[in-house]
Structure 1
Amino acid sequence: MLEALNFVTAHKTYFACFLSSLVLALVLTPLAGRLAGKLGAIDQPNHRKVHSAATPQMGGLAVYFALWLPILALYFWENAVNARLDAAWWNISIVAAAGGVMMLLGMLDDLKGLTATKKLLVQVPLAYLFASHIAHFQSITVPGIGSYELGAWGVPLTMLWVVGITNALNLVDGIDGLASGVAIVVAFTNSIIALISGNDFLAIVMLAMTGSCLGFLYYNFAPAKIFLGDTGSLFLGMTLATASVLTVSKSDIAASFLVAVLLLGYPVMDTLLAMTRRKIYGRPMFSADLGHIHHRLLAKGLDHPKASLAIYGLCGCFSLAALAMVLQNSAIRFCALLLLAGVVFAALRYIGFFKLLEPKVIQRQKANYLIAYHLGELFEAKLSLADDLKKIQALFRQACAEFGFSSLTLRLDPVLVRGDETGEMVWANPEAGQARHIPPSRTAKESFTARDGFLEVEYLYDRAELEDELAREYRMQMTRLTNSAALRIKELMPVLSRPSKESAVNLREQPAAGAEISTRESKVGGQEAR
């Protein structure tokens, strides 16, 4: 006990930063939620999402300021740690600025929605400036094999690392508390390594990140009251990526690059598995799917808290292996890597990843996935040509028939309805859809409401736990069509919102026909990503 007290006393500045960030996150997170509500950054439940109620995003704002405000205060606090950090303030400013750019990019994505290409147009130049002018990997050391100088490959490898880690943390932000919990494990382990190696810069930043994410997790763990959003996941990914490069490029720890890879092992592994899966099945690399590790844990019957805790445990295994790499004992390093390989193999086998690599499965599923994806592209192309509501409604009927849904209800704001058009369309599949002859207890309704409240789509489908992966892919494509339809209707709104005389009469005679469109809570119990 006395030794622990002495340790805390000797490192009181570090713990002050940690506690300050923790308290600030607890205070700022509700404020970020209110701001998100006012700005309209609300994540609505729909076909692809695992939450069942409208939830504010942009929680990353609270995490960002909770992380950096205590460090800014430290700059004006004259003490021994501040003196040792004198040469590191430039690095701290770089990491804060890079994270700030990603936070602003994420805010724009949460508010307006950005494609992967648009986000890369910001991330890649930023990664290039960082790698070419600030710091980059210079060598790779693997225990038992040797060290290799990267030379000219150092800059492109660093760019790939920064962009990859930034987006990897965003990809794993799929269930309540996952991304923030992963960041806590990574940052805390990084802080231990930094204290061991005497790296004050990394220790301060990582302990502050641990505190800010821990305070945010109080609101973000299942059932989440607020999400990180891209505001938080992109900024956390960029901060972890740039901090690791600055540390590794100046580190005297053997196998330092391997330490960085192991620390971020879970998001790296999940991203590589997603890329492998999409390559095998012929899908675009940036397409959304339901095959991430957290999806498969949910499909195994785990609820959100258990799935998150299981992944925290896996991250802990990666972190223990990273700590073993800091030791100078080659036998311990080898055993740690061997044990980690066994844990990863067992985890992948449990979620059924290896079955996806079987030739029979690939042959059977690849054609079906390609057909589903290209059908989605076809309907999107047709949607871009639709110039009235009747054509949009007809496309929904065609899509539901192709994808095998049994029923569809589409409602529009009556302000947009003109002439002989109708604001509500109810359709039933005359063929045997996927929910045909299924008892009501085994089916569920899914609803999607556009952010501006002018479009609502509802359809009947087989419950998520009873679906196969192809059925979930069909629902993914319906999400795609619904989002595109909302955008297309928004483009047409100046034309649609000018009612003719006939539609004006129709509105007076039928004031209750869709006059109020409410946001339903999704009843899906499912395995979809946010």
Structure 2
Amino acid sequence: MIRAYLPAFVISALICGGLTYYVRRLAQKLKLFDQPSPRKIHPYPLPRLGGVAIVATFLIVTIGYIFASRRLNFGENLWFADQKLIGVILGLIVLIVLGILDDIRGVGPLKKLFWQLVACVIVVSFGVSIGFLRLPFGSHLDLTNPQIHFALFGHGFNIEVLADLISIFWILLLINTFNFLDGLDGLATGISLISAIVIFFLSISLGQDASALLAVIIAGTAAGFLPWNFNPARIFLGDSGSMALGYLIGVLAMISGGKLATSFLVLGIPVLDVGWVVLRRIFKGKSPFLADKRHLHHRLLTAGLTQKQSVILLYIISMIFGTVAIISKTQEKITALIVLICLMIVLALALVVLELRKRARQNG
């Protein structure tokens, strides 16, 4: 059965790999480089705009499947394609425009947050939303109430307040998690690849062909970009790429039936790391958008690991918990989430000890 999805994976990987070559050359020609700075770890300028190759690949392959096949159908047709898929594409276009502008000339944090919200609202308004959450012991938490009904231009609209707000928050969280995660070569790209593969296998097990196909397109796209982005990187994702990957993984988790627990297991350490760093900045009276080197992946470097070692360690943790997510039931996933949080605490304490020992050796 997996063979039926291999063409989409291979096509996506080949297209993205080829496009990345030309995007890299274009970025070099236009002198669009990510410059070294005290808060960054690369020692020389590197081209960015990698997100252009990623988004272009996703759009090419997805639109190709829309016209060549009826497999990318989530049940609600509108115009030439599935309504939800149109919403995904429109929201992605908003993000890639925002990301390119940010990569070229910079966009302020509040303005960036506003347009991220716009992208989230667009995709949710097209029906990509979390209708319920699975709870332990087989029960569900219904998020579809309360509802607000209204008419506009002769068309009826329905807002599921709780479901839509949680959905917007979830996508926004993933967008910014991947944006923060893109601090080491290949880290954000590899984690997105692992996340998409996990959701792919889970979708197959549930008989969700459209979700599995969308997941394998995202996985193939990430796989095609990874050789260019893994240490030593030849091109960076840029904000255009990190935001696009976070958005696609966030949307994929919802469009495939509310696989939030699964996604959180794979992305648990990055998400918890972002939450901790943002809270620490707020408590210190600093802007939560202020970049620094206090993220987990930076602290792994401080503790003495190389870039490759740090990235591979985080890959392995994500793969372990991703495997648990595939084979576990809802109640077991809750247990795994608790274990993940405990692991994060132990890892943080271990890093503090390693940093203190390293400083003691340097001072001694």
The residue type paired with residue 119 of structure 1 is: K
Change (3 A) 1:337 1:159: closer
Report the 3-state secondary structure (helix = DSSP H, G, I; strand = E; otherwise coil) of the residue aligned with 1:352: helix
2: CA distance, partners of 1:163 / 1:82: 24
Pick aligned residue for 1:204 from 213, 223, 228 = 213
Deviations along 1:394-418, whole A, 9 cap, x unmatched?
Answer: xxxxxxxxxxxxxxxxxxxxxxxxx
1: CA distance, partners of 2:168 / 2:225: 29
2: CA distance, partners of 1:318 / 1:191: 15
Q: Does 1:343 align with 2:343?
A: yes
Aligned partner of 1:245 in structure 2 is 254
Aligned partner of 1:259 in structure 2 is 262
Report the 3-state secondary structure (helix = DSSP H, G, I; strand = E; otherwise coil) of the residue aligned with 1:76: helix
2: CA distance, partners of 1:83 / 1:168: 28
1: CA distance, partners of 2:122 / 2:72: 28
Asked if structure 1 preserves the Cα contact closer than 8 Å seen for 2:269 and 2:344, the reply is: no
Change (3 A) 1:56 1:153: same
Q: Does 1:15 align with 2:6?
A: yes
Q: Does 1:304 align with 2:307?
A: yes
Q: What is the CA distance between 1:82 and its match in structure 2?
A: 6.3
2: CA distance, partners of 1:91 / 1:136: 10
Residue correspondence of structure 1 range 486-497 to structure 2 within 5 A: none
Give the TM-score, by structure 2 length.
0.84
Pick aligned residue for 2:232 from 209, 216, 223 = 223
The residue type paired with residue 234 of structure 2 is: K
Q: What is the CA distance between 1:117 and its match in structure 2?
A: 0.6
Aligned partner of 2:295 in structure 1 is 292
Q: Does 1:89 align with 2:82?
A: yes
Q: What is the CA distance between 1:259 and its match in structure 2?
A: 2.7
1: CA distance, partners of 2:98 / 2:212: 27
Aligned partner of 1:276 in structure 2 is 279
Pick aligned residue for 2:316 from 313, 322, 332 = 313
Asked if structure 2 preserves the Cα contact closer than 8 Å seen for 1:109 and 1:230, the reply is: yes
The residue type paired with residue 234 of structure 1 is: M
Change (3 A) 1:236 1:274: same
2: CA distance, partners of 1:293 / 1:82: 37
Report the 3-state secondary structure (helix = DSSP H, G, I; strand = E; otherwise coil) of the residue aligned with 2:352: coil
2: CA distance, partners of 1:135 / 1:66: 22
Asked if structure 2 preserves the Cα contact closer than 8 Å seen for 1:123 and 1:163, the reply is: yes
The residue type paired with residue 134 of structure 2 is: T
1: CA distance, partners of 2:135 / 2:324: 13
Higher relative contact order (CA 8 A, sep 6+): 2
2: CA distance, partners of 1:86 / 1:130: 14
Residue correspondence of structure 1 range 117-132 to structure 2 within 5 A: 117-132=110-125
Report the 3-state secondary structure (helix = DSSP H, G, I; strand = E; otherwise coil) of the residue aligned with 2:188: helix
Between Structure 1 and Structure 2, whose CA radius of gyration is higher? 1
Q: What is the CA distance between 1:86 and its match in structure 2?
A: 8.5
Q: What is the CA distance between 1:221 and its match in structure 2?
A: 0.6
Change (3 A) 1:218 1:76: same
The residue type paired with residue 63 of structure 2 is: L
The residue type paired with residue 90 of structure 1 is: Q
Structure 2, unaligned runs of 5 or more: 146-160
Deviations along 1:300-333, whole A, 9 cap, x unmatched?
Answer: 11111111111111222331232244x37x5x54
2: CA distance, partners of 1:83 / 1:185: 24
Report the 3-state secondary structure (helix = DSSP H, G, I; strand = E; otherwise coil) of the residue aligned with 2:285: coil
Asked if structure 2 preserves the Cα contact closer than 8 Å seen for 1:266 and 1:318, the reply is: no
Change (3 A) 1:232 1:281: same
Q: What is the CA distance between 1:133 and its match in structure 2?
A: 4.7
Question: Bigger CA drift: 140-149 or 154-163?
Answer: 140-149
Deviations along 1:497-516, whole A, 9 cap, x unmatched?
Answer: xxxxxxxxxxxxxxxxxxxx
Q: Does 1:169 align with 2:160?
A: no
1: CA distance, partners of 2:16 / 2:191: 17
Change (3 A) 1:37 1:194: same
Aligned partner of 2:155 in structure 1 is none
Change (3 A) 1:276 1:146: farther
2: CA distance, partners of 1:212 / 1:338: 32
Report the 3-state secondary structure (helix = DSSP H, G, I; strand = E; otherwise coil) of the residue aligned with 1:248: coil
Aligned partner of 1:61 in structure 2 is 52
Report the 3-state secondary structure (helix = DSSP H, G, I; strand = E; otherwise coil) of the residue aligned with 1:48: coil
2: CA distance, partners of 1:290 / 1:158: 30
Change (3 A) 1:198 1:30: same
2: CA distance, partners of 1:36 / 1:466: 40
Change (3 A) 1:232 1:93: same
Asked if structure 2 preserves the Cα contact closer than 8 Å seen for 1:321 and 1:340, the reply is: no
Q: What is the CA distance between 1:85 and its match in structure 2?
A: 8.0
Q: What is the CA distance between 1:271 and its match in structure 2?
A: 1.2
Asked if structure 2 preserves the Cα contact closer than 8 Å seen for 1:259 and 1:322, the reply is: yes
Asked if structure 2 preserves the Cα contact closer than 8 Å seen for 1:25 and 1:212, the reply is: yes
Structure 1, unaligned runs of 5 or more: 1-6, 250-255, 357-462, 468-530
Give the TM-score, by structure 1 length.
0.59
Structure 1 stretches (4+) deviating beyond 6 angstroms?
82-86
Aligned partner of 2:153 in structure 1 is none
Aligned partner of 1:40 in structure 2 is 31
Deviations along 1:415-453, whole A, 9 cap, x unmatched?
Answer: xxxxxxxxxxxxxxxxxxxxxxxxxxxxxxxxxxxxxxx
Q: Structure 1 vs Structure 2: percent identity of aligned residues?
A: 28
Report the 3-state secondary structure (helix = DSSP H, G, I; strand = E; otherwise coil) of the residue aligned with 1:176: coil
Aligned partner of 1:499 in structure 2 is none
Asked if structure 1 preserves the Cα contact closer than 8 Å seen for 2:90 and 2:122, the reply is: no
Change (3 A) 1:130 1:297: same
Q: What is the CA distance between 1:141 and its match in structure 2?
A: 2.8
Count of residues in correspondence between the two structures: 340
2: CA distance, partners of 1:84 / 1:48: 43
Change (3 A) 1:466 1:211: farther
Q: What is the CA distance between 1:155 and its match in structure 2?
A: 2.0
